[in-house]
Amino acid sequence: MNAHSAPTPATAGKSGPLRGQIRAPGDKSVSHRALIFGLLSCGTTEIGGLLEGADVLATARACAALGAKVDRLGEGHWRVQGVGVGALLNPTETLDFGNSGTGARLMMGVVAGHPVTARFDGDASLRKRPMKRVLDPLALVGARVLEGAEGGRLPLVLEGAREPLPVTFETPVPSAQVKSAVLLAGLAAPGETTVIEREATRDHTEAMLAYFGADVRVVPEGAHGRRITLVGRPELTPAKVMVPSDPSSAAFPLVAALLVKGSKLAIDGVMANPLRNGLVVTLREMGARIETLDERREGGEAVEDLVVQFSELTGVDVPAERAPSMIDEYPILAVAAAYARGVTRMRGLSELKVKESDRLAAVADMLRAAGVTFAIEGDDLIVEGRGPGSVPGGGTVTTHMDHRIAMSGLVLGLAAEAGMTVDDVAFIATSFPDFVPMMRRLGAEIA
């Protein structure tokens, strides 16, 4: 799964009803953070349900390079023996984050607060992504880029601060990665570090800071935002973390069941954090039959079991304020919109352009290849739905090293008249290694 390996194409054909009961893999955001908090606490952190996708495994290797002892005890069951805030080792090897923006940006925050120097790198996709958004606030903390590609891109060498400063920083874009990088750097600074976000983004870092014993306060800021204040230099206490299942991964079988006639699927234990569930909210507005069976808390997060059935969807207008709570779900929402009756307008998608691929462009190409009419107006995507089962298909989706585009293309093909081909499904392993086998077990025709 690197620039040198041959692409792995796959074709999804029009499928009969998808039926069964599944559990999506562990949440990717929580998995990265569980490992990092393990590194930053003194003693043994045990993790259950860790996502063993390529992105998270890269973070595990980086934690080991910075001094933690990281062991896999069984499937999803990991142990991290951490060094504690302030005691990281100088890594002797490059920290290679592969395809993962989260791993790279959060670890830049960790390194920024420590007197260590680390070389960061990633694959061709990650090398194109903007790092200035984290490097700018980390420079205020006292970190310096010693060597770096133009415009703050990877590869780069980051020298952490000898005496990190506490900062107050307002994020210029709604990004949990930027927020988290600043808070992680702030752990090593004396006094209070504050991050202000105009639009609330996923809060797993704040939740885990509190869970590991740091003093962190979160208060509302403006209409949609938050102000997060962390007291630096806590002694983090190692903890047991149970990773809930990933709503961003569950999204793919969920939408597949909505689109393939006669389907009925139970999806168990999906994280229901309100800052992550914009897709389910939107699909319900579109008329999706998604039933919640059991709402409960597991490992500090709200989770629910869902039962999803084939549904006749109607186009809706998705407000820009909802984007942070469904940011990774727009490609699969665009697939749902293609099978809805009427027009769906998704507003405020500028952040989609800086993901693993330019997802706005990649989604546009995917819709074109499937024979679906759409328009892009500014940062909005407008999809003209063709109605249930009425997408022609027959084209090829270019994934651009992007797992979510690959999975969206396959789901699109499962209900299309002539199916769809995806040029490279290898990158699905970054977040959902079992996706293709799982979909086949449910009845999906994927060759």
Among 99, 175, 277, 398, binds ligand S3P (CB under 6 A): 175
Nearer to ligand S3P (CB atom), residue 182 or residue 306: 182
Given the complex with ligand S3P, which of 177 and 277 has the nearer CB atom? 177
Contact at 8 Å (CB) between 23 and 253? no
**What are the backbone angles phi and psi of residue 89, rounded to the nearest 5°?**
-95, 155
Could you tell me the sign of the dihedral formed by the alpha carbons of 278, 435, 126, 158, in that order?
A: positive
Per the CB < 8 A criterion, the answer to whether 394 and 368 are in contact is no
**Taking the complex as a whole, how short is the minimal distance between the CB of residue 202 and ligand S3P, in angstroms?**
6
| Residue 269 phi, psi (nearest 5) | 65, 35
Pick the binder of ligand S3P from 125, 180, 282, 325 (CB under 6 A): 180
Residue ranges of the annotated binding site are 28-29, 33, 101, 129, 175, 177, 328, 355, 359, 404
Q: How far is the CB of 160 from ligand S3P (least distance, A)?
A: 21
Q: How many residues are given for the chain?
A: 447
Catalytic residue among 55, 246, 305, 328: 328
> Where does this chain bind ligand PEP (CB under 6 A)?
55, 100-102, 328, 355-356, 404, 431
Tell me how far, at minimum, the Cβ of 404 lies from ligand PEP, in Å.
5
Q: Is 379 in the site for ligand S3P (CB under 6 A)?
A: no
Residue 245's nearest CA partner among 281, 277, 211, 208 is 277
Query: Based on CB atoms, which residue is closest to ligand PEP, 356 or 424?
Result: 356
Give dist(CA 266, CA 128) in Å, integer: 38
421 interacts with, out of ligand S3P, ligand PEP, none, CB within 5 to 8 A per kind: none
Helix axes 204-211, 28-40, angle to 10 degrees: 40
Who's near 437: CB < 8 A, 6+ residues apart?
Answer: none
Catalytic site residue 328? yes
Among ligand S3P, ligand PEP, none, the one that 404 touches (CB under a kind-dependent 5 to 8 A) is ligand PEP
Output 248 or 311, the one with its CB closest to ligand PEP: 248
Which residue's CB is nearer to ligand S3P, number 244 or number 443? 244
Across the beta sheet with 77-83, the strand order is 69-74, 77-83, 42-48, 240-242
Residue 372 CA to its chain's centroid (Å): 27
356 and 403 in contact (C-beta within 8 Å)? yes
> Binding to ligand S3P (CB under 6 A): which residues in 339-368?
351
- Give which of ligand S3P, ligand PEP, none residue 176 binds (C-beta under 5 to 8 Å, depending on kind): ligand S3P
Report the 10 Å Cβ neighbour count for 127.
13
At 126 the three-state DSSP class reads helix
- Using left for φ > 0, alpha for ψ between -120 and 50, and beta otherwise, residue 176 falls in alpha
Sheet of 420-422: strands edge to edge? Answer: 396-397, 420-422, 10-13, 445-446
**216 close to 194: Cβ distance less than 8 angstroms:** no
Q: Could you tell me which stretch among 1-9, 172-180, 368-376, 438-446 binds ligand S3P (CB under 6 A)?
A: 172-180
The Cα–Cα gap between 254 and 275 comes to 18
Burial class of residue 378 (count of CB atoms within 10 Å of its CB; 0-12, 13-18, 19+): exposed
Question: Which residue, 239 or 406, has its beta carbon nearer to ligand PEP?
Answer: 406
Q: Which residues are annotated as a binding site for 3-phosphoshikimate?
A: 28-29, 33, 175, 177, 328, 355
Nearer to ligand S3P, 270 or 327 (CB): 327
Please report whether residue 408 would count as binding ligand S3P according to CB under 6 A.
Answer: no
Q: Look at residue 9 and give its three-state secondary structure.
A: coil
Which residue is nearest to ligand PEP, using beta carbons? Answer: 101
Q: Which stretch binds ligand S3P (CB under 6 A): 175-183, 258-266, 393-401, 406-414?
A: 175-183
Instruction: Name which of ligand S3P, ligand PEP, none residue 431 binds, using a CB cut-off of 5 to 8 Å depending on partner kind.
Output: ligand PEP
Q: Which of 177, 193, 282, 344 lies at the binding interface for ligand S3P (CB under 6 A)? A: 177
Q: How far apart are CA 23 and CA 435, in angstroms?
A: 11
Q: How far apart are CB 132 and ligand S3P at their closest, in Å?
A: 13
Identity at 161, one-letter amino acid code:
A
CB under 5 to 8 A by kind: which of ligand PEP, ligand S3P, none does 276 bind?
A: none
| Residue 74 CB partners (closer than 8 Å, separation 6+) | none
Site string for ligand S3P, 120-159 (x = CB under 6 A): ----------------------------------------
Which stretches of the chain bind ligand S3P, using CB under 6 A?
A: 29, 101-102, 175-177, 180, 202, 327-328, 351
State the catalytic residues: 328
